[in-house]
Amino acid sequence: MTISAEWLIRVDWAGRQWWASTVPMDATVDGVDVSADGGAEVRYSERLARLALDGPDLGASFEADFAAADWAALRAAGHRWRTATAALYLVIVDDGTPGDPNELVAGLLESVEYGDPDDTPGALRAQIRAGRLTDTARLLPAGSALSADAWPYLATPSSAPTLSAVAGKAPALIAGRPGLISGAPVAAAPAYPVEWALGPVATRLVLACERLAEGQVWLTDGSGKWRIEPVEHVADAEGRTWPTVDATGIATGTQPHLDRAIGTQWWWASSSATGPGSLAVSSARPGLGSVALALLGRSSLPIDRQRMAAALPDLDVIEVGLVVQDPDASPLDVVQDLLALYPCTLARSAAGLYVIPHAQPIPAACPWALVDGVDVQRVGPVDVETVRPPASIEVRWGPSHAADTRTRAVRIDAETPALGIDIDPDGEAITIDAPAIWDEASAWQVALLAARAHPLEREVVTLEAAPAYHRVALGDWVALSSESLGRDVAGQVVGRAWVDGAWRLTLAIDDAPG
């Protein structure tokens, strides 16, 4: 069996598409049959900044003859190169049979060279640089802010002078357990009064911006007193359905008070102190990975769900809950903030985004086992990077809604007993703010994982691999058996490049503490 890696290049400019390839090729891309004459030369590279949440750095350069194109003529017609885009596809040829083209990078053309008098009109040299991740979706639904058109009482300040202040507020989107009020037995989030009787007495509270699965909720006014009330989904004057509490049956003077001054912060809570809570963004449990996947499901970016699912058991050891009220927040914005709690990397495959937890396996548990000198060849020396351990790690978690309650914290330092973690009194003091954490066990998980993410030493090894190893992906863990290194190691692929007909794989090998 002979496996080779070939490349297909698409250039989009001036309302047309042009194709080139490394060998003569007929292929189908997105349902369109394309042909290319071959002869192109391609260099491709991927770099993964570990523990980075901005996605990998992807890029390619090529030199090709697009036979049907006349680039100088297009430029003379007024088309500008800044509007040109391109995409690079990997095509695996197995025993002479090409597979489906797999798009690896797409973006703007850079460093364009064309119009050489010694070349054909279609000759082109350029780079393709993938753009940064941009999520155009928004978590809060359009029109989620409360308005007087939807709730007429908000337009009657004469009977309730500060009632109009509720207008413009955005009821929260709840993900996981929605928060914690000091002294409360359950998770809680803000709610807003939208209907009133004489007094003024609130008669209806809006709980969230989307339907809730919760059948009943606990209600409080922040006084420490709680009562349970059923959830009613009702339509406003514009026909939009909201999860609400009907407060007409709560007598004036009972606890919690529903006849306090307008503008008081009202609160609602899930009806279970131990369960997952009310999930407007549904997931099986309020674990970090499950909530992140549910949020990314609302993103405008594609998601590699298979790889994302593989990361959930690691990420879900941290329980999170959050209240989203920022109308400009995208799913990716919120997920990046959440993932900062776990040492991980946001990666991108042809299928979409996924998360790589920084959980170094033993060599026997790696998905790839390679032998130096047989499967791959080491290239160049081993680069050694010394990483200084931190002096301390403090996680500040569970912000309280009570002004007189101090934010909670857990701390790892030289005086923390029996953790087996390397601490350097002269190192950096690390502070992690974790407003999405609501329990001490998860806060300790964040601290311990952050400590273990600082290796005692890191070695970087470069390997050369045949085209058949195209499935060794960025972020994968590789077990490398090497006589020249004198030991078996486990390393993460942090770089992958196509150079002179072979893959160059860069492994980062950590000597982890603990």
Q: In CATH, what number is assigned to the domain containing residue 379?
A: 2.40.30
188 and 90 within one domain: no
Q: Are residues 221 and 306 in the same domain?
A: yes
User: Last residue of a domain, which of 90, 110, 130?
Assistant: 130
- Asked which of 336, 356, 376 is the last residue of a domain, the reply is 356
Half-sphere exposure of 175 (CA within 13 A, CB side): 27
Asked if 125 and 182 sit in the same domain, the reply is no
Q: Are residues 504 and 464 in the same domain?
A: yes
With beta carbons less than 8 A apart as the criterion, state whether 354 and 133 touch. Answer: no
Q: Kindly indicate the confidence band of residue 452, based on its pLDDT and cuts at 50, 70 and 90.
A: confident
The answer to whether residues 208 and 287 belong to one domain is: yes
Instruction: Provide the number of structural domains found in the chain.
Output: 4
190 neighbors 226 (Cβ within 8 angstroms): no
Domain end marker among 426, 452, 478: 452
Which residue in 474, 463, 467 sits closest to 370, CA to CA? 463
Q: Is the pLDDT of residue 282 over 50?
A: no
> In this structure, which amino acid lies at residue 162?
T
Task: Looking at the structure, tell me whether residues 51 and 76 fall in a common domain.
Answer: yes
Taking the C-alpha atoms of residue 124 and residue 126, their distance in angstroms, rounded to an integer, is 7
In tens, the pLDDT along 152-210 reads 888 765 555 555 667 888 888 877 655 554 444 455 677 788 887 765 567 888 888 88
Residues 44 and 117 in one domain: yes
Dump pLDDT digits (tens) for 80-125. Answer: 999 999 999 999 988 878 889 998 888 899 999 999 999 999 999 9
**pLDDT tens sequence across 335-393:** 999 999 999 988 887 778 899 898 888 888 899 999 999 999 999 999 998 777 888 99
Domain range spanning residue 106? 3-130
Q: Is 154 helix (H, G, I), strand (E, B) or coil?
A: helix
Do residues 282 and 332 share a domain?
yes
Are 327 and 429 within one domain?
no
When pLDDT is cut at 50, 70 and 90, the band that residue 428 belongs to is: confident
Q: Where is pLDDT greater, at 165 or 405?
A: 165
- Looking at the predicted structure, is the pLDDT value of residue 265 above 60? no
Element (H, E) at 445: helix 440-452
Q: Is the peptide bond before 256 cis (omega within 30 degrees of 0)?
A: yes
Domain co-membership, 283 together with 407: no
User: DSSP code of 375?
Assistant: T
Asked if the bond preceding 200 is cis, omega within 30° of 0, the reply is: yes
Provide the H-helix boundaries in 202-287.
none
pTM: 0.79
The least confident of 26-30, 66-70, 324-328 is 324-328
**Is 86 found in the same domain as 64?**
yes
Rounded to a whole number of angstroms, the distance between the first and last alpha carbons of the chain is 44
Residues 198, 312 within the same domain: yes
